[in-house]
Amino acid sequence: MREESTVKSRILAAVGATGVMAFLLIIERERYELRMGAKAVPLLCLLLWLWPPRGAYPRWIFAGLVLSLIGDLLLEIGPEQFLPGLFAFLLAHVAYAAAYLSVTRIPSVMRGLPFLLLAVGAGVFLWPGLGGLAWPVMAYIAVICTMTWRSWAMLGASGLGPRDQWAALAGALMFAASDLLLAIRLFVQPVPGSGYAVMLLYWTGQLCIALSARRPQYSSSPAPDMAV
């Protein structure tokens, strides 16, 4: 059974990596249907890798990946689908935050402070270029910063093992960095070649988040100073 699982993982990893390379090769092409097909492959492989999700934490992560896939496809259709795509990704972050809250609901206010400052700073920085998208983007920033905060709040909690906690935090941070870079490209100043960095950060972040839910290792005792 373990050998069969290993073979499945290797096949999915190879197919997913092929999808990543194919998308990066055609990222500048105007044929959106080609980009959609290649872009869907990595997340489809992650979904198959996690199937079937067992337990509250893996199910919320699985839901977040499904919503991210929907967002990916909507954004590739064209500018007219930007808001629906943004909403799909907002719901994906809600699902990830719910997963992290299923591990611990300790407020960890001090850990939330950097992300509050990040949300305010990003909002002020992006606001002049947002136009009619100002409030939807502000809502999205608030949700993704909340999701990232909750991933950090898990560290040291008893609901999930240290390896999986760190994987979730790394994934959340890379997802946030990808979105920030994308927002700069869309609303502030186009950066040559930034599309490659956006997608590599995004896919690596999703992989780390999926890793945290693949076979969660549950810890039995929280660190004593983690309830701040």
The mean pLDDT value of the chain amounts to 91
Q: What is the pTM of this model?
A: 0.92
Per-residue pLDDT band for 214 (boundaries 50, 70, 90) equals confident
Q: Confidence class of residue 130 from pLDDT cuts 50, 70 and 90?
A: very high
Contact 168, 186 (CB under 8 A): no
pLDDT at position 29 over 90: no
Q: Residue 226's pLDDT is what?
A: 43
User: Residue 112 corresponds to which tokens in the numbers above?
Assistant: 């939330």
Whether the pLDDT of residue 109 is over 70: the answer is: yes
Count CA atoms closer than 13 A to 26's CA, side-chain side.
Answer: 16
Our measurement of the distance from residue 195's CA atom to the centroid of its chain's CA atoms, rounded to an integer in Å, reads 16
pLDDT digits (tens, 9 = 90+) for 157-168: 887 899 999 999
Question: DSSP string spanning 98-120?
Answer: HHHHHH-----HHHHHHHHHHHH
Buried b (16+ CB within 10 A) or exposed e, 100-111: bbbbbebebeeb
